[in-house]
């Protein structure tokens, strides 16, 4: 991946791990240059309590043709998806990108830009219907590679996606070395990480919380 420029889109209302997880992986690929980009330079506040900020050092126009595009998700994704400047940049950058990727609801932005029409893709489990409404073919895989477009499911799946991208660009050994350095060896205390596995009462708890937020 020598000399490869990676642009990670930032916006207010981002889910931090969607961007930071892949960053920690991709920043260790030899020769990779990771850029945080946004419509305007400066701090972009995360969705949860706005307690954390990620900083965009570059505007979109300053990084017009990155080799890799990464679009995170989060509550603020809906506004980013409706922003003509964001969509225009994505369409232009996608023409020459080597890989165009998303994490979580970032797939909805890729779909809005027209990259996922009739294409298998994934996103957070709660947004599968939205993804379908935007023309994609939702699948429940954790990471989906279709041509040069790679989509990852919710939040933590971004790390898996980034390791897959590192493998595709730099080979198995480099990807495994990064995984080892990060000690990425998940052993969660519960097997409740998807709707198919979570207890029914926990699923209802999450859905009720979502209804209160949107109400």
Q: From CA 42, how far away is CA 50, in angstroms rounded? A: 14
The band of 167, judged by pLDDT with boundaries at 50, 70 and 90, is very high
Residues 167, 211, single domain; the answer is no
Residues 165, 108, single domain; the answer is yes
User: 38 pLDDT exceeds 80?
Assistant: yes
At 1 the pLDDT is 44
Torsion angle of the four alpha carbons 136, 141, 145, 151, in this order, in degrees rounded to the nearest 10 = 60
Residue 5's CB is within 10 A of a number of other CB atoms, namely: 17
The band of 2, judged by pLDDT with boundaries at 50, 70 and 90, is low
Burial class (CB in 10 A: 0-12, 13-18, 19+), 33: middle
At 213 the pLDDT is 77
Give the count of domains, the chain. Answer: 2
Residues 167, 198, single domain; the answer is no
Residues 78, 14, single domain; the answer is yes
Helices 157-170 and 16-26: angle between axes, nearest 10 degrees? 30
Q: From CA 85, how far away is CA 9, in angstroms rounded? A: 12
Share of the chain above pLDDT 90, in %: 93
The band of 215, judged by pLDDT with boundaries at 50, 70 and 90, is low
Q: From CA 120, how far away is CA 128, in angstroms rounded? A: 11
104 included as an active-site residue: yes
Helices 157-170 and 172-181: angle between axes, nearest 10 degrees? 140
The single residue of 104, 136, 153, 155 carrying the catalytic annotation is 104
Please choose, from the candidates 184, 180, 183, 177, the residue with its C-alpha nearest in 3D space to the C-alpha of residue 29.
177
Domain of 96: which CATH number? 3.40.50.880
User: 49 pLDDT exceeds 90?
Assistant: no
């Amino acid at each position: 991946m020598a000399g490869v420029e990676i642009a990670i889109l930032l916006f207010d209302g981002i889910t931090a791990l969607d961007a930071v997880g892949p960053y920690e992986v991709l920043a260790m690929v030899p020769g990779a240059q990771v850029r945080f980009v946004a419509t305007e330079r400066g701090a972009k506040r995360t969705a949860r309590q706005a307690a954390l900020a990620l900083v965009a050092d570059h505007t979109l126009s300053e990084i017009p043709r990155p080799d890799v595009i990464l679009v995170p998700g989060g509550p603020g994704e809906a506004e980013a998806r409706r922003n003509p400047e964001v969509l225009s940049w994505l369409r232009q950058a996608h023409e020459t990108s080597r890989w165009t990727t998303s994490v979580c609801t970032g797939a909805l932005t890729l779909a809005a830009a027209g990259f996922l029409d009739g294409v298998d893709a994934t996103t957070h489990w709660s947004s599968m219907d939205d993804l379908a409404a935007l023309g994609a073919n939702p699948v429940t895989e954790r990471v989906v590679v279709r041509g040069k477009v790679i989509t990852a499911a919710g939040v933590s799946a971004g790390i898996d996606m980034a390791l897959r991208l590192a493998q595709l660009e730099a080979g198995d050994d480099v990807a495994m070395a990064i995984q080892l350095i990060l000690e990425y060896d998940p052993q969660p205390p519960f097997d409740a990480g998807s709707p198919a596995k979570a207890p029914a009462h926990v699923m209802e708890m999450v859905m009720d919380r979502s209804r209160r937020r949107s109400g």
